[in-house]
Amino acid sequence: MNRVFYAIMLIVGVSMIIMPLSVPVFKSSAEYSVLNTDWNGVSSFGRLLYSKGEIVPVLSTYESMGLGERKGTLIIVGPNLDFTNEEIWELKRFLENGNTLILADDFGTGNEILEGLGVEQRFGRGELITPIYSKNYQYPITAEIADPDLAKNVERIVMYNPSVILNSENALVYTPNSSIFRNSYGAFAIVEEVEYGEGEIILISDPDIFTNSLFRENEEFIKNLLDYTGGPFFIDEAHHRDFNPYSSGTITIRRALNRELVFYYILFVAIIAFIVETGLWLRVLEKILGLFFRFFKEEKESLEEIIKSLEKEGLSRELVLKIINEIKSGSKLGGNHGR
């Protein structure tokens, strides 16, 4: 066989073993960004959004992307950049056309949106204290979910330093009854639904429930929330101060050279070449065929032994051979006799 063939086998095989594996990964260190895989990012939430349907990151101003003409749900988590009047106007058109806004904030710029849209609800500033918490008082827990669709399979919602929603009119989730906020005592709204035109606004007073650090605790509630609103989903990245798409990088993961694997592959090709070029494969084939013919020879020898044993029992060799021939010809004890 042509030696060039063996050279090609070696080159292709070794190249596949040591070939770099390039995986483009766009990342961001911005808090509450879907491109942030750290504890304070929401990349796990982004994967969930992708599994639910179409997801469109918003990387520019609302008027430049024509938000008012879009259909779906806009999600804003932890915004900390100001919203322009033009953006508020596009958002207003978006809601009036029957779409949904999910706004999760505590001490950011969410109130700018609420004020610009002319609604009464606000995110309160101050420390919320509840009698039930997870790790410590900074991680309050609630299971007070008013809407049964949001409560499905949810045992609790875990928060981190949340705010509350002031001027609540249609709360979907409350804090426990014995909570304290700015010297007030009782149950406070942390998820609120506000009707706006043909659309609706879902206010959530803690963006941290979406972060990677708390995602597993709140995954069932978040799934219910997405089912409650529906897609396609637009996720706002443009209003995160530290988000810079130009600083997003590409990570290349290189597969390390496995010297042992390369050695065994070269040895495998060498063995194939040796067997083919020396004609050893013909000898192997001859041995296989020899075993095959030997099997039939042994079968004939065993038939001869049967005849000899019958002769010892007193039967004539001619009669035994005649019976065998009759069996082979398909008749019983002489087809010429009609039996």
User: What pLDDT is attached to residue 331?
Assistant: 46
For residue range 74-109, list pLDDT tens digits in order. 999 999 999 999 999 999 999 999 999 999 999 889
Burial 243-255 (b: 16+ CB within 10 A, else e): beeeeeeeeeeee
Q: How far apart are CA 284 and CA 288, in angstroms?
A: 6
Q: What is the band of 249 on the pLDDT scale with cuts at 50, 70, 90?
A: very low
* pLDDT value at 11 more than 90: no
The contacts of residue 243 (CB under 8 Å, 6+ apart) are 28, 30, 33, 35, 237
User: What pLDDT is attached to residue 54?
Assistant: 82
User: What pLDDT is attached to residue 52?
Assistant: 83
User: What pLDDT is attached to residue 236?
Assistant: 95
Residues belonging to the chain: 339
User: What pLDDT is attached to residue 230?
Assistant: 85
Higher pLDDT, 43 or 284: 43
- Which residues, in sequence order, are bridge partners of residue 181? 128, 184
Mean of all residue pLDDT scores within the chain? 80
Of 138, 143, 170, nearest in space to 154 by CA: 143
User: What pLDDT is attached to residue 10?
Assistant: 57
Residue pointed to by tokens 């219910």: 224
Q: What is the band of 274 on the pLDDT scale with cuts at 50, 70, 90?
A: low
Q: Are 123 and 163 in contact (CB under 8 A)?
A: yes
Q: Using H for helix, E for strand and C for coil, what is the string for the chain?
A: CCHHHHHHHHHHHHHHHHCCEECCCCCCCCCCCCCCCCCCCCHHHHHHHHHHCCEEEECCCHHHHCHHHCCCEEEEECCCCCCCHHHHHHHHHHHHCCCEEEEECCCCCHHHHHHHHCCCCEECCCCEECCCECCCCCCEEECEECCHHHHCCCCCEECCCCCCEECCCCEEEECCCCEEECCEEECCEEEEEEEECCEEEEEECCHHHHCCCCHHHHHHHHHHHHHHHCCCEEEECCCCCCCCHHHCCCCEECCCCCHHHHHHHHHHHHHHHHHHHCCHHHHHHHHHHHHHHHHHHHHHHHHHHHHHHHHHCCCCHHHHHHHHHHHHHCCCCCHHHCC
Q: How far apart are CA 240 and CA 242, in angstroms?
A: 6
Could you give the domains of the chain? 23-252 (3.40.50), 291-337 (no CATH)
User: What pLDDT is attached to residue 242?
Assistant: 72
Q: What is the band of 329 on the pLDDT scale with cuts at 50, 70, 90?
A: low
pTM: 0.66
User: What pLDDT is attached to residue 287?
Assistant: 64
CA atoms within a 13 Å half-sphere pointing along the CA-CB vector of 302: 6
User: What pLDDT is attached to residue 333?
Assistant: 44
For residue range 31-50, list pLDDT tens digits in order. 899 889 999 999 999 999 98
What does the pLDDT average to over 255-260? 56
* pLDDT value at 17 more than 60: no
Q: How far apart are CA 127 and CA 138, in angstroms?
A: 9
* pLDDT value at 247 more than 90: no
User: What pLDDT is attached to residue 75?
Assistant: 97
Q: What is the band of 204 on the pLDDT scale with cuts at 50, 70, 90?
A: very high
* pLDDT value at 296 more than 70: no
User: What pLDDT is attached to residue 21?
Assistant: 47
